[in-house]
Structure 1
Amino acid sequence: MNAPSRRHVLHALAALMGTGIMAVPGMARAAEELVVTTYGGSWEKFWRATLLPMFTAKTRIQPRLDVGLGRTYMSTMRAAGVGKSPYGVVMTNEIYASVLRAEGQFQKLDRSLVPNLADVYPIATAAADGWGAVGLVSPIGIGYRTDMVKKPPKSWKDLWTNPEFKGRLGLYSIQNTAGKMMLMLASKLYGGDIHNIDVGFKKLAELGRVMQTDFNMSTMMSTGEVVVAPFDFGEIARLRNQGLPVDCIVPEEGLLMWDQTFNIPQGAPSAQAHAYLDFILSPECQTVLMKEFFVSPVNRKVVVPEALKKDVPISGKDMDKFLAWDWDFMNKNTETITKRWNEVVGK
């Protein structure tokens, strides 16, 4: 199981997924059944074969799994209405969670029912401020081909200053949260503020021709079309373990990340939902997630074993190196930002 393949699967599933397997909003609530969400491909396989059986063995709660995408869950919850969500716990990227949270769809967590919250790194709770928790962190640094780059990158600014990268740089598109993070990063690096997107767009334009992708950078890195790009450490681990000469570094300015935030909707079966969230944040669950997906464990009690440190290099004190973003700002300006990106980036 690996990050690139599952993102590739998600891309393919995007056109196929409807409202998920729970077609009738409120059906789960009527039976007080705990319904939890995940994505397709290797995510679904792992949830069914490993994660949910572990949870049931520990709590005797047997959840129903709904497979979909962030925008699927958002549409379904909006159609059902606040307090009538068919889901008990929703896992999605913070960019979606922040919208639903602002609309009043989620309930504030009862910390007494989630004791493992006391042991998570600040990055796991900062954005949600008590209304949810990040259960999976996929760190994004700068990945590069070690056989095609003479001077390895050390800084995000190297993407602008190293002539080796000209015309061979990969970026995630604005449809991906990593593209939005790159815009805010450029704004911060050269304009002093993540909201200074005029400067951000100016600097992105200076990169010249870039190779863009919505979901999967690994194919272009494998073929050599791209020699450097923002990259998930887990994806780099997969490519390296397949024999490709690649590496990923922690830039001097800090890390980006793909997050998976877990939130409890209003009206959900509260005790069961809190038990599931507590399990997700537990050392035992974080350990199996780390081993399966090469994500950085959010629970401080998890120690990355020596054999995994090359594939999971971000843990402990390095969890403080993640940069903070303003998803409310991005969401409010999505249409304008998307139009400008399409006009400016990669031209």
Structure 2
Amino acid sequence: MNLTRRQALAGMAALSAGTMFGLPAALAQNKTLIVPTLGGVWEQFWRNTLAPEFTKASGANVTLDVGNGRVWGANMRAAGVANPPYSVVMTNEVFASSLRKEGFFEKLDLSKVSNYNDLYPLAKKTDGWGAIAMVSPIGLAYRTDLVKTPPKAWKDLWTNPEFKGKIGLYSFSNSAGKMQLMLFSKIFGKDMYDTEAGFKALGELGSVIQADFNLSTGIASGEFVIAPFDFGEVARLRKQGLPIDVIVPEEGLLMFDQTINILANAPEKELAYEYANFLLAPETQALLMKEFFISPTNSKVVVPDDLKADVPISGPEMDKILSWDWDFMNQNQAAFAETWAKTVK
């Protein structure tokens, strides 16, 4: 077949893109992968950057489905295990855990996810059923202009009188709220399962300010002076001029996570695996880090000097991020939500 120079260059560009992200240059021009994504800045980045890069690498079209874990879970359950609307879903492990038990996801074929081998142990905690592609570590943030004695540990929320009545927490409806319960159970009880001790500690905190999602407004206004915050959000607030800092508590870090899962009956399973490997590639992880200040889960990514202040958790520091039993939490969340409402003032 005779190729024009333009066609030859186009073919070379597609091959280069595939090589960059460790993908085959798939001949999938007529195929479409539906990619669930969060809204707002996340949708914009996927639409303007990641989706075009994946199309360049794979040859497939991308259609974004904007929503969240609850919405995608509802869509899958409505369609049924045998006929899912998606081939790949990246969502918080709290949602992925439930959907996995319901049979929606398959154990990963790791021969199709070459970048899995380079992930930190933290990203492999689901025993091959998924892979964490994004981590936003959560430490303890405080207003540097309103706090005289900076915190060193989560326990300081109870012992530092400066914090009394000026503490922000995520509500139980947020996955971070559930993590707070398991963390406080672990700190004040035998382990994360000792929720009686966790609720007792929560009750002893006194009055707190709760938020379902956005704690930034409260700490910016001074409504509270200390709260759990992910490092990326602290970086954004700091760049806006807010006097704020965040520490790695002695007891460890929480995290917002995004786990990649492949649907057992995926309509485009091969594309789903290409997309999963694309998200885990060092090049994609670096793009996500620069845009959202996430901690890359691929150990090959080196945080550049100009980002270390905004992305301080990488390398050995990743071991300070705690993991949780989401099956336990999901099985008991209705009862826990009721107790939370009665306990947290």
TM-score (norm 2): 0.90
Cα drift, residue 125 of structure 1: 1.5
| Aligned counterpart for 1:142 among listed residues 135, 140, 143 | 140
Amino acid at match of 1:67: V
Superposed CA offset, 1:206-234 (max 9, x none): 00000100000000010011100011111
Cα distance in 1, alignment partners of residues 66 and 82 from structure 2: 21
1:132 corresponds in structure 2 to 130
Q: Secondary structure at the match of 2:179?
A: helix
Shift of 1:33: 3.5
Give me the identity figure in percent: 60
User: Which one of 219, 229, 242 corresponds to residue 244 of structure 1?
Assistant: 242
The 3-state SS of whatever aligns with 2:32 is: coil
SS at match of 1:333: helix
1:90 aligns with 2:92: no
Q: How far did residue 132 of structure 1 move?
A: 1.0
Alpha-carbon displacement from aligned partner over 1:10-38 (angstroms, at most 9, x marks no partner):
xxxxxxxxxxxxxxxxxxxxx96321110
Q: Count residues in correspondence.
A: 315
Measured against aligned partners, the alpha-carbon deviations of 1:182-204 in whole angstroms (never above 9, x if no partner) come to 11111100102101101100001
Following the alignment from structure 1 to structure 2, what is the Cα–Cα distance between the partners of residues 150 and 57? 52
**Partner residue, 1:177:** 175
Mean Cα deviation higher: 107-116 or 62-71? 62-71
Supply the distance in 1 between the matched residues of 2:290 and 2:190 (Cα, whole angstroms): 37
Aligned 8 A contact 1:146 1:247 in 2:
yes
CA distance in 2, matches of 1:263, 1:175: 23
Opposite residue 176 of structure 1, the aligned amino acid is: N
Kindly report the root-mean-square deviation, in angstroms, between the aligned alpha carbons of the 2 structures.
1.0
Q: Corresponding residue for 1:213?
A: 211
State the secondary structure of the residue aligned to 2:61: coil
- Which residue is 1:254 aligned to? 252
Q: Secondary structure at 2:202's aligned position in 1? A: helix
Instruction: Write the distance in 2 (CA, Å) between the matches of 1:270 and 1:125.
Output: 21
Whole-Å separation in 1 of the counterparts to 2:224 and 2:137: 20
Higher deviation after alignment, 207-216 or 52-61: 52-61
Structure 1 segments, 4+ long, off by >3 Å, are none
Instruction: Determine if contact 1:82/1:104 at 8 Å carries over to the other structure.
Output: yes
Contact 2:31 2:61 in 1 (8 A): no
Alpha-carbon distance in 2 for matches of 1:246, 1:166: 18
Task: Answer yes or no: is the 8 Å Cα contact 2:140–2:229 preserved in 1.
Answer: yes
Unaligned 5+ segments in structure 2 are 1-29
Say which of 144, 147, 158 aligns to 2:156: 158
Task: Write the distance in 2 (CA, Å) between the matches of 1:76 and 1:266.
Answer: 15
Deviations 1:244-285 (A, max 9, x none): 100000011110000011111112122111100000000010
Taking the aligned partners of 1:52 and 1:134, their CA distance within structure 2 comes to 19
CA distance in 1 between counterparts of 2:129 and 2:73 reads: 16
Is 1:167 aligned with 2:165? Answer: yes
Provide the rounded CA distance (Å) in 2 between the counterparts of 1:222 and 1:33.
43
Deviation at 1:64, TM superposition (A): 1.6
Q: Is the 8 A contact 1:84 1:266 kept in 2?
A: no
2:226 is matched with which residue: 220, 225, 228?
Answer: 228
Question: Which amino acid is 2:86 matched to?
Answer: Y
Q: Distance in 1 between matches of 2:35 and 2:260?
A: 10
Match of 1:186 in 2: 184
